[in-house]
A and B are shown apart, each in its own frame.
Chain A
Amino acid sequence: MEEGRSTASAIEADSVSLSQRRSNFIYQFTQQSLPACKPVLSPVWVVSVFFVVGVIFIPVGIGCLHASRSVVEIAYRYDVECIPAPFRGNKLAYIANDFIPKNCTKHLKVPRSMKAPIYVYYQLDNYYQNHRRYVKSRSDRQLLHGLEYPDIGLCTPEDVINGLPVVPCGLVAWSMFNDTFSFFRGVHELNVNRKNIAWKSDRDHKFGKHVFPFNFQNGSLIGGARLDPNIPLSDQEDLIVWMRTSALPSFRKLYGRIEEDLDADDTISVKLLNNYNTYSFSGSKKIVLSTSSWLGGHNNFLGIAYLSIGSSFIFVAFLFLMLHIQNPRSYVDTSNISWNWKHISD
């Protein structure tokens, strides 16, 4: 009996070294014990990690919040304001009627000094540019190759008008935004740079340099802007900006940049043409002037998020510290290991 046991254990020891030799490499590959810090979740570690992360997040949050707050933004909703009084009751008739002049002048007050470049955006709300049918209604190949590319079936109903194909086809291009804005400080007109507002990659690779608008907005229903048929698509930056469909129903698109500084308490007059129809679906239009920081536009969310996470981490660290002081559990104490619980009794 004893003999059997000793030989068995000898064999076991032998097999351990054998298997170790054989599968050492595989074990190291699959079990990847990298020489890294592998924290056992002891109270000391947890409290310190939470505290440290909290302490790091709070300044980051403050930084983000500061950046966001340093951005000066003027947003003005003009679509209701710009309807003349007699037409307030029947907005659709107003917008559809080409003979009613759509000029509108509004005044904006600059709250704080704004440094160039100042970005001019138009913001649309309740406009579902991410609607499935809308997003599909375009032909990227046609934008690049023009009339040579005939397969534009997805663009219905805006693919063929009077038997001739439409370039650019589809609902996205057809519904292009066509309000225009010009800005004045007193008498002096502010120069709005309308070049370089689209993505460079779009200008170079997505819209053809030799593709010209053809048969565009020729149908009975006018959806938006008309395009100059003499300018190639790659230079039609408003179209390019519009064709980048937005993911959410409330979005801004770049209109241009103002390259001058604006001082605090300046009054900027906006002369705009209220052409675009957002009245039939209760959408809204806003004109936005905004500076930008290293974090982008005016968005408090990131700063608030970091601050709240950081402060909650510090709170949790404090809470765990209190709990640990109240119920300290040393490493040697095994009564809480799961197999020492009462109900596992076998």
Chain B
Amino acid sequence: MVKEGIEDWRRNQQDVEVNNRKEWYPVSGERVEWSYKLLNVLEFDSSRKRMSVIVRNEEGKLLLFCKGADSVMFERLAENGREYEKETREHVNEYADTGLRTLILAYRKLSEEEYTLFNEKFTEAKNAVSANRQELIDEVTEEIEKDMILLGATAVEDKLQQGVPECIDKLAQAGIKIWVLTGDKMETAINIGYACSLLREGMKQILVSLDTEEITTVEKTGDKNVIAKASKQSVLQQITEGKSLVANSGSEAFALIIDGKSLAYALDDGVKNLFLDLAIGCASVICCRSSPKQKALVTRLVKDGIHKTTLAIGDGANDVGMLQEADIGIGISGVEGMQAVMSSDIAIAQFRFLERLLLVHGHWCYRRISSMICYFFYKNVTFGITLFLYEAHSSFSGQTAYNDWFLSLYNVFFTSLPVIAMGVFDQDVSARLCLKFPLLYQEGVQNSLFSWRRIVGWMLNGVSSAVIIYYFCARTGAVIIDSTWLVFGFGALLVVHWSWGRDALIFLL
């Protein structure tokens, strides 16, 4: 129960009412309330990185309140609004270093004319149906969100889910490479990296960012082309340096940390292959301040560049692009809504379930599918080739060796249930052991159970089974044979042959 501070009392589409818990009217005992009329909401956008509201207070004054990321908010403060800027920056860095998510708050008083002008243009922009609607809106909001007075900073602890570090540890042991693509600041991201054991003590960090002094000086000039060129140059240089560092070192582990601005240049056509090479050489990669589009682009780069299976896991609406781009997209259902879940291939409830999903069920599934496919081919090859061999003895007239019912039901009754039972239930090791030895997962990654050698081996096994069955029956039954005996003989010998022959083959192979 909140004992102090401002409390959100009531809110609807037009009004917001807040209470002050510590103040109340001395006579009536009621709490002091302030109500505001909500006029406009300038919504959050990942490119703007801020959001604002325009309200009119009880006295009729117009106010613009804005909150957003520090990189965009500090630029927009008025000259006389930067009273505690230095301390706020320090505080914000402190917060980020402890892994908290920070926001800067600011406000501005508006005059009536300014507001009416803005409202007109804003409504017009919002009602536009052209393709550049977003740009029109951005333009209008750009005009009004400036010259603000700094209010302060907030920090929110975004707790890491339970079991995440252990999960990531296990997956790394299983030989899975893990990258983190986040929208947080670099310090927050690094902190989270240490928290979930992606970054370990003794790992060398390679930082690629555009926060250097030379870049900031170039940015002050304001010339877009020059900035772009210089930034690209800087990024390229940092990446090449990183590559040589990785190449020259021996067995050290490297971590690559790159921020959103540099990522935009690193994903350019000339640079992206170098970037990919560098990233592959590092044990962990963290991309901070990345926009949803960049997340998707990085995923696509990895998918197309390495040609291995990629899995993306995320829980928010900003992960949707990434989830759809990856080979397998896993959405975590939870606090951030169902957007990720709706656009994913598989949805789980907590991050730590991924461990079981991959190491236990993924492992079993691979084994089951590969052996079931081979078994299906084997049984049909055996069946077909006995029929084929019989043709030679029936004057090639098309007479089948088996009863019609047997032909139809072979695949339905006689051979479907055992194969399906194996495909659904087979576990080579128990779940406990799968989790205990994560390296067993590599069996699936390297496709060791479904190589051409195995497939051809099963087929040849089928052919030899068929030949043995047919000639055993035909020669054993010799001349006093009837078609019904052939059926029973085939069936019995199939069963007998299967077990010992296969064991012998396993040993030999």
Where the two chains meet, the residues of A that have a C-beta atom closer than 8 Å to any C-beta of B are 1, 4-5, 7-9, 11, 16, 30-31, 41, 46, 53, 123, 128, 130-135, 244-252, 296-297, 299, 301-302, 305, 338-339, 344, 346
9 CB contacts below 8 A, A to B, read: A4-B165, A9-B166, A11-B163, A31-B427, A123-B479, A128-B397, A130-B395, A297-B480, A302-B476
Beta-carbon contact of A132 and B480 below 8 Å: no
Q: Which of B480-508 contact A (CB under 8 A)?
A: 480-483, 485-486, 500, 503, 506-507
Residues of chain A lying within 8 A (CB to CB) of residue B166? 5, 8-9
Is B116 an interface position by the 8 A CB rule?
no
Q: Please give me the residue from chain A that is nearest to B437 by CB atom.
A: A339
Residues of chain B lying within 8 A (CB to CB) of residue A41? 503, 506-507
Is B119 an interface position by the 8 A CB rule?
no
Residues of chain A lying within 8 A (CB to CB) of residue B477? 247
Measured CA separation A131–B162 after assembly (Å): 72
Beta-carbon contact of A245 and B483 below 8 Å: yes
Measured CA separation A346–B172 after assembly (Å): 11
- Take A8-B163, A128-B395, A135-B399 as given contacts and tell me if A339 and B478 are in contact as well, using a CB distance cutoff of 8 Å: no
Measured CA separation A133–B395 after assembly (Å): 11
- Take A247-B401, A248-B474, A251-B480 as given contacts and tell me if A131 and B163 are in contact as well, using a CB distance cutoff of 8 Å: no
Measured CA separation A75–B195 after assembly (Å): 90
Best-surrounded residue of A5, A31, A245, A248 (most CB of chain B within 10 A):
A248
Residues of chain A lying within 8 A (CB to CB) of residue B352? 8
Residues of chain A lying within 8 A (CB to CB) of residue B479? 123, 248, 250-252, 297
Best-surrounded residue of B195, B480, B506 (most CB of chain A within 10 A):
B480
Beta-carbon contact of A346 and B442 below 8 Å: yes
- Take A8-B163, A339-B439 as given contacts and tell me if A244 and B395 are in contact as well, using a CB distance cutoff of 8 Å: no
Q: Which of B406-460 contact A (CB under 8 A)?
A: 421, 424-425, 427, 432, 439, 442, 446, 448
Q: Which of B383-414 contact A (CB under 8 A)?
A: 393-395, 397-399, 401
Q: Please give me the residue from chain A that is nearest to B392 by CB atom.
A: A249
Q: Could you say which of A1, A132, A338, A339 contacts B394, with CB atoms under 8 Å apart?
A: A132
A-B complex: 8 closest residue pairs judged by Cβ atoms: A30-B425, A132-B399, A132-B397, A128-B395, A130-B394, A301-B475, A131-B397, A247-B483
- Take A8-B162, A8-B166, A11-B163 as given contacts and tell me if A133 and B507 are in contact as well, using a CB distance cutoff of 8 Å: no
Is B472 an interface position by the 8 A CB rule?
yes
Is B305 an interface position by the 8 A CB rule?
no
Nearest-Cβ distance from residue A191 to partner chain B, whole angstroms: 23
Q: Please give me the residue from chain B that is nearest to A346 by CB atom.
A: B175
Measured CA separation A112–B58 after assembly (Å): 129
Residues of chain A lying within 8 A (CB to CB) of residue B439? 339
Nearest-Cβ distance from residue A51 to partner chain B, whole angstroms: 13
Number of interface residues of B (CB under 8 A): 40
Beta-carbon contact of B476 and A299 below 8 Å: yes
Measured CA separation A302–B475 after assembly (Å): 8
Residues of chain A lying within 8 A (CB to CB) of residue B486? 247
Nearest-Cβ distance from residue B364 to partner chain A, whole angstroms: 11
Nearest-Cβ distance from residue A18 to partner chain B, whole angstroms: 13
Q: Please give me the residue from chain B that is nearest to A248 by CB atom.
A: B393
Nearest-Cβ distance from residue A346 to partner chain B, whole angstroms: 5
Residues of chain A lying within 8 A (CB to CB) of residue B480? 251-252, 296-297
Residues of chain A lying within 8 A (CB to CB) of residue B432? 16
Residues of chain B lying within 8 A (CB to CB) of residue A297? 478-480
Q: Could you say which of B425, B448, B500, B506 contacts A31, with CB atoms under 8 Å apart?
A: B425
Nearest-Cβ distance from residue B140 to partner chain A, whole angstroms: 46
Measured CA separation A164–B506 after assembly (Å): 65
Beta-carbon contact of A11 and B162 below 8 Å: yes
Nearest-Cβ distance from residue A316 to partner chain B, whole angstroms: 8
Beta-carbon contact of B395 and A247 below 8 Å: no
Nearest-Cβ distance from residue A49 to partner chain B, whole angstroms: 9
Beta-carbon contact of B397 and A133 below 8 Å: yes
19 further contact pairs, Cβ within 8 A, besides A130-B395, A297-B480, A305-B472: A8-B163, A8-B166, A30-B421, A30-B424, A31-B425, A41-B503, A123-B479, A128-B395, A131-B394, A131-B397, A135-B399, A245-B482, A246-B481, A248-B479, A248-B481, A251-B479, A252-B480, A297-B478, A338-B448
Measured CA separation A245–B442 after assembly (Å): 57
Residues of chain A lying within 8 A (CB to CB) of residue B398? 132
Measured CA separation A35–B397 after assembly (Å): 50
- Take A11-B163, A301-B475, A339-B439 as given contacts and tell me if A251 and B395 are in contact as well, using a CB distance cutoff of 8 Å: no
- Take A247-B481, A339-B442 as given contacts and tell me if A130 and B425 are in contact as well, using a CB distance cutoff of 8 Å: no
Residues of chain B lying within 8 A (CB to CB) of residue A296? 480
Residues of chain A lying within 8 A (CB to CB) of residue B162? 4, 7-8, 11
Measured CA separation A346–B173 after assembly (Å): 10
Q: Please give me the residue from chain A that is nearest to B471 by CB atom.
A: A301
Beta-carbon contact of A249 and B481 below 8 Å: no
- Take A5-B165, A41-B503 as given contacts and tell me if A249 and B442 are in contact as well, using a CB distance cutoff of 8 Å: no
Measured CA separation A249–B395 after assembly (Å): 8
Measured CA separation A344–B500 after assembly (Å): 31
Beta-carbon contact of B478 and A299 below 8 Å: yes
Residues of chain A lying within 8 A (CB to CB) of residue B421? 30
Nearest-Cβ distance from residue B484 to partner chain A, whole angstroms: 9
Residues of chain A lying within 8 A (CB to CB) of residue B427? 31
Measured CA separation A8–B424 after assembly (Å): 30
Measured CA separation A11–B352 after assembly (Å): 12
Measured CA separation A299–B398 after assembly (Å): 28
Nearest-Cβ distance from residue B153 to partner chain A, whole angstroms: 26
Residues of chain A lying within 8 A (CB to CB) of residue B506? 41
Measured CA separation A5–B168 after assembly (Å): 13
Q: Please give me the residue from chain B that is nearest to A297 by CB atom.
A: B480
Beta-carbon contact of B446 and A344 below 8 Å: yes
